[in-house]
Structures are given as C-alpha cells and as structure tokens.
Amino acid sequence: MAKQTTHQTRSSPEKNPRREPTASGERDATVNRNASHNYFLLEKFEAGVVLTGTEVKAIRSGKANLKDAYGLVKDNELWLLNCHISPYEHGSYSNHASLRTRKLLVHQEEIRKLIGKTQQKGLTLIPTRMYFKNGRVKVELALARGKQQWDKRETERRRTADREAREAITRSQKGR
C-alpha cells in the first residue's frame, strides 16, 4: 500500500490591514477646520458624492480642500460648490476640473427637510469633513448659522478658560 503524503500549503499572506489609513476609513480625507470657527453647527448629516475616477484617487492621496465649500439645494437636488480637488498627478487627458460643481446623493425626504431649513434666514449648508465609508466617498454636511465677530471672541474666551482650568487641575494632581 502506498504511503499517503500530506503536503502543507502555506496560508496566503493576509492583506495589509494598515494599508492606506484614508482609504480604509480610519482617517478623514479632509476636514473643514474653519467651519466650527465661523459657524454654529446645528445639525449634521451624511451625503454621498458623485465623482469621477481621478477625483477619488486625488482624494485618497489627500488632495481635497473644503475651506470655501458650501451646499446648495437647486431643483430638488443637492449640490456641493467650491470644493477644490486637485487634479490627479498620474491622470491623463481625462483628468477632472478642480473646482467643478459636484452632485450630492441624499434621500428625497432629506432634501425636502433641507429646503425648508435653508430658506430660513441665516442658515446654510457647510461641509465639515470628507471621508471614506465602505470604499465610497462621503461628505458630512452641517446646517449652520454664521457667527458674528463677538461670538467668535466669546468662543475663544471660553476655550481658553477651559484649557486653563484643565491645566490647573493637572498641576494640583501632580503636586500631591
């Protein structure tokens, strides 16, 4: 009787779980840091974005900027304006325009709610961050009301007072 041989197969090497932190959804692709400074952020919601292939690749490499961007409801559709996505460096003739208007994907019911809210005086849609979720680019939009100059100073005073209080607590705990 012939001897049966069993051969061991090597387990296939696992894919690198720490591939690209932005692409895997661990880190935001871009954040609008000015949004919380210039606006009171009242309500946040998530929207998908209609993008071309070179735009997605540019976002993965961190070439997006939401600083001057805003949302607009027009003809029962939601649009993202002034969002700057730099051209992809390896793109060819099919590269995208950096400041084009991009369509946002949300349910029709949410659009109806937003129409009513953005028609109120002083409320606008501001994108606060752009990130990947299950391989798709998402934008977090916030319904926002603009801050006056004295509001910004008051926020800064409150932040400074909180920081000083935390530092005093840590100093007193270290002194024990």
Higher pLDDT, 102 or 150: 102
Q: What is the pLDDT of residue 39?
A: 86
Domain limits, the chain = 30-147
Categorize the per-residue pLDDT at 140 as very low, low, confident or very high, splitting at 50, 70 and 90: very high
Categorize the per-residue pLDDT at 26 as very low, low, confident or very high, splitting at 50, 70 and 90: low
Read off the pLDDT of residues 28-72 as tens digits, 9 standing for 90 and up: 888 888 888 888 889 999 999 998 888 888 888 888 889 889 898
Which stretches of the chain are assigned E, i.e. beta strand? 30-31, 39-49, 64-65, 70-74, 77-81, 84-85, 102-105, 123-133, 136-146
Q: What is the DSSP letter of 22?
A: T
Read off the pLDDT of residues 67-105 as tens digits, 9 standing for 90 and up: 889 898 999 999 999 988 888 888 777 787 778 899 999
Is residue 33 within 8 A of residue 130, CB to CB? The reply is no
- Among 1.20.1250.20, 3.40.50.170, 3.30.9.10, 2.40.280.10, name the CATH number for the domain at 30-147: 2.40.280.10
Nearest to 141 by CA among 91, 96, 88, 80: 80
Residue 166 host element (H or E): helix 149-174
Provide the whole-model pTM. 0.72
Q: What is the pLDDT of residue 168?
A: 92
